[in-house]
Amino acid sequence: MHPLISKNKLYLYLFFLIFLSSIFNFKFLENYQEKFNLKIINISGVSIKEKKNIENELNKLKNTNIFKITETNILENLNKFDFIESIYVKKIIPSSININLSKTSILGKTFINGEEFYIGKNGKFINYNQLSEQYNSPTVFGNFQTTEYLELLEILREHNLDLKKIDKIYFYKNKRWDLLFYNGSTLKLPSKKIEDSIKIYKKMLLNNNLTNTKIIDLRVINQIILTNKNE
């Protein structure tokens, strides 16, 4: 007949069994949770320099449970990069995220407090240092809103004006624009009914009436003032 195990010994065995199993369970749970921590962030759609800057910003999300990372978290971290137009995020379980970015088109450049900025199609001023390449676009001077500039470009496009021929653009306090072309001519537009003035300018171009013209002044409605290059 086997000797009976005393109650004290039985309790002691149970205690050690529970203790050891608890350590195992905690370790297993810890390893299991760590498996789903973000370790790899894949970024596409931008240059190597831009990618590096974005990675530095997103690295703060690493070692966070991938299920707790939302698209909002990623957008908040990418908000400082004004050249981004759209973002596509895909989680790859257990520990990776793919981020595909598309950059906005650059439509101009300007200066704000002595710093150079690009003007994006997304309506943002983009610090020159954020981008790795240089863009050939008109230089815009004056205190303007991007929406005002984009509205002007839309009118010019609608009337098939070649934006690549424009060197500089000036914006005045009375909401008026001057366009300076690479051929040395200047088009002065009114503050209102810009589209009507562009139509007049386009007709003059088609009729070759501006061959020796330096300034086309359309600031006054129903009035055209031309200044020749030799004046």
User: What is 90-101 written as a DSSP string?
Assistant: EEETTTEEEEEE
The pLDDT of residue 228:
86
The pLDDT of residue 7:
58
The pLDDT of residue 13:
55
Determine how β-strand 139-141 pairs with β-strand 166-171. Answer: parallel
Strand order through the sheet with 139-141: 125-127, 115-120, 106-112, 139-141, 166-171, 177-181, 186-188, 213-217, 225-228
Q: How many CA atoms, within 13 angstroms, populate the side-chain half-sphere of residue 205?
A: 12
Mean pLDDT of the chain: 86
The pLDDT of residue 14:
55
The pLDDT of residue 127:
94
SS3 4: coil
**Domain range list for the chain:** 40-103, 138-228
**Over 90: is that where the pLDDT of 148 sits?**
yes
The answer to whether 40-103 and 138-228 have equal CATH topology is no
Confidence band (pLDDT; 50, 70, 90) for 26? very low
Confidence band (pLDDT; 50, 70, 90) for 34? confident
pLDDT, mean of residues 189-212: 87
Out of 3.30.780, 3.40.1010, 3.90.320, 3.10.20, select the CATH number for domain 40-103. 3.10.20
**Over 60: is that where the pLDDT of 12 sits?**
no
Domain 138-228 part of CATH 3.40.50.11690: yes
The pLDDT of residue 9:
56
The span from the CA of 216 to the CA of 229, in Å, is 11
**Over 60: is that where the pLDDT of 139 sits?**
yes
The pLDDT of residue 125:
97
**Over 60: is that where the pLDDT of 35 sits?**
yes
64 DSSP assignment: S
CB 107 within 8 A of CB 121: yes
pLDDT tens, 38-82? 999 999 999 999 999 999 999 999 999 988 898 888 999 999 999
Confidence band (pLDDT; 50, 70, 90) for 28? very low
